[in-house]
Amino acid sequence: MNNQRLTQTQRQELKLSPQQIQLMKLLQLPLIELEQRIKEEMEINPALEDTRENDYEDNEPTVDESDNGENDDYNDDEVDFSKDDEFDINDYLPEEDREDYSYKLQANNYSCDDDDYEAPIVNEETFQDYLNQQLAYRDLTEKQLEIGEYIIGNLDDNGYLNRPVPNIVDDMLFTMNLSTTEEEVTEVLSIVQELDPPGIAARDLQECLLIQLKRLQEDNPFHKDYSLAITIVKDYFEEFTKKHYDKISKKLEVSNRDLKAALDEILKLNPKPADASSSGTKNIHYITPDFFVFVRDGKVELSLDGRNTPELHISKQYLKMLEEFSNSKDTRNKQEAVQFVKQKIDAAKWFIDAINQRQNTLYVTMKAIVDIQEEYFLTGDETKLKPMILKDVADKVGLDISTISRVANSKYVQTPYGTFLLKFFFSEGITNDEGEEVSTREIKKILKDAVESEDKSNPMTDEQLMIVLKEKGYPIARRTVAKYREQLGIPVGRMRKKI
């Protein structure tokens, strides 16, 4: 017996339009990536043009910027091109823009004397190139040189070799058809470890420090004795990392003075040897802020950085093509041609609208942050930062929390006190002894100051730090102190001990 039956149910679903998806993606992009994204869109959509480029080409006057696209309602359904209903370009374009439908991405707030800043293209040798050049000067066979270059190619960003020797042997056989042995690879590895900077191609921190100490001893055989430091790293590395200095002193039967001198030499070493390379062998990364905050006459001023962002508009050429196709008597090809041009113009309009909405969303979000944290922007004092979470900003500007999160996640603001991620200004709050809600950032600042001013020979425990905070009017638990300490990257008291 068939029990199938037809039922009707009603449910609500949230579906995002292509424009909303496009906006969310654009919101997440920082300024440099946004500029690249705009250039990519201009390459794939010829109906999208940069107003500034046209100004340079034909010196035409800039178009009216009053149009915000509020009245731009298009019908996305297919146009019917019957003989009784001829297509009219004026039915497609908004009434106020029938002569010239174009508008800028942003207002031009810059003087004609201002120069556009173009980020420099960095074309420098890599750290691997730097090592390979040194390796080429060594007296090696062709096979040894291939092994050495393969080892260098497997170093991580800190200069360590995390690939075990047996795996390297297998990799070279399968990927390069080069048969070798563990002994051969180990021999070449020791040669690579002799390159500059010292400590390169080590397989762990202990080996990295040993390589550097032995190099120092070889370079200064008569001026300094590194034997104690080498012994500590070689035979008592676990005690050294845990700062069990008393155990080391007793086992080696050395005075605290000699032990401290050896530890000082170890602490001078570089645990990340790749960072020791010259600036000419590394690329420099620049941060381009999305916002600028200035303080003038006791008032906080905010602006968006859009100097290098193209000022977009709809191509006049495509609008003219659309009009010509609509007036054409060749009805056989007219529908396909007009649909193609209309699709490109629609895509360009949607993209411009998304960029405009992105700029507006960024501005109102940052303006809300500035309003809430105005006292900080006026003084630069971190203790003046108020408790603020995503919901506070979302409620103030009337946007969704996820939207605020996308804005705050990867955007930078340049202030008189430095350049910060927007996330820097967000923090939770607790209530102090006086019943006033204060930011956890203020507590972390006091905690950091207390650790910096402590006696390093007898650092404070979390329990003692809790007492210090309580005396200052911040009654928080020891567990919370430990959490804040870890967030600040401060080790436990035992690991902060110095002789």
- Model confidence at 427, pLDDT cuts 50, 70, 90, reads confident
Q: Does 154 share its domain with 243?
A: yes
Would you state the pLDDT for residue 110? Answer: 44
Query: What is the reported pLDDT for 333?
Result: 62
Burial label, 58 (beta-carbon count in 10 A; 0-12, 13-18, 19+): exposed
| 339 vs 183, residue with greater confidence | 183
Q: Kindly report the CATH number assigned to the domain that includes residue 443.
A: 1.10.10.60
C-alpha to C-alpha distance for 210 and 310, rounded to whole angstroms: 54
Q: How confident is the model at residue 377 (pLDDT cuts 50, 70, 90)?
A: very high
pLDDT higher for 49 or 169? 169
Show the domain range for 93.
Answer: 18-65+85-104+285-426
Residue 253 exposure: Cα atoms within 13 Å on the Cβ side: 0
Based on its alpha-carbon atoms, the radius of gyration of the chain, rounded to whole angstroms, reads 33
Residue 117 lies in a domain: no
Are 370 and 457 found together in one domain?
no
Whether residue 114 lies inside any domain: the answer is no
Whether residues 292 and 266 fall in one domain: no
Domain finish residue from 254, 280, 306: 280
Q: Which of 217-231, 271-285, 375-389 has the lowest mean pLDDT?
A: 271-285
Of 426, 454, 484, the domain-final residue? 426
pLDDT in tens, 32-42: 788 888 888 88
Torsion of CA 198, 202, 207, 210, to 10 degrees: -10
pLDDT per position as a tens digit, 52-85:
655 544 444 443 444 444 444 434 444 443 444 4
Together in a domain, 224 and 306: no
Q: Based on the domain organization, do 336 and 396 belong to the same domain?
A: yes
Q: SS3 for 438?
A: strand
Best-predicted range by mean pLDDT (89-93, 296-300, 430-434)? 296-300
Handedness of CA 342, 348, 349, 354 (dihedral sign): positive
Q: Mean of the pLDDT values across residues 326-330?
A: 64
pLDDT at 465: 87
Q: In sequence order, what DSSP letters do the residues of 220-256 get, joined into one string?
A: -TTT---HHHHHHHHHSHHHHHTT-HHHHHHHHT--H
pLDDT (0 to 100) of residue 370: 93
Q: How confident is the model at residue 396 (pLDDT cuts 50, 70, 90)?
A: very high
As for how many domains the chain has, the answer is: 3
If asked whether residues 248 and 164 sit together in one domain, one would say yes
Which residues, 6 or more positions from 110, have their beta carbon under 8 angstroms from its beta carbon?
Answer: 307
Q: Tell me, yes or no, whether 175 and 305 share the same domain.
A: no
- Asked if 253 and 131 sit in the same domain, the reply is yes
Residue 103 in this model has a pLDDT that exceeds 70? no
Task: Note whether 273 and 368 are same-domain residues.
Answer: no
249, part of any domain: yes
- Distance, in Å, from the CA atom of 203 to the CA atom of 198, rounded to the nearest integer, reads 13
For the segment 132-179, what is each residue's pLDDT rounded down to a tens digit? 888 888 888 888 888 988 888 888 888 898 888 888 888 888 888 888
- Dist CA 419 CA 404 (whole Å): 19
Residue 140 lies in a domain: yes
More confident position, 24 or 486: 486
Task: Quote the pLDDT of residue 458.
Answer: 82
Q: What is the mean pLDDT of the chain?
A: 76
Domain end among 246, 280, 314: 280
Q: State the first-to-last Cα distance of the chain, in angstroms, to the nearest integer.
A: 88
CA atoms within 13 A on the CB side of 396: 18
* Of residues 151 and 7, more confidently modeled: 151
Continuous segment of H or E residues that includes residue 312: strand 312-314
**What pLDDT is attached to residue 36?**
83
| pTM of this prediction exceeds 0.75 | no
Burial class (CB within 10 angstroms; exposed 0-12, middle 13-18, buried 19+) of 9: exposed
pLDDT at 371 over 90: yes
Same domain, yes or no: 159 and 262: yes
394 and 445 in a single domain? The answer is: no
| pLDDT-based confidence at residue 395 (cuts at 50, 70, 90) | very high
DSSP state of 427: B
Structure tokens at 224: 């300094």
What would the mean pLDDT of 240-257 be, rounded to a whole number? 85
> What pLDDT, on a 0 to 100 scale, did the predictor assign at position 286?
62
Based on the fold, state whether residues 195 and 243 are members of the same structural domain.
yes
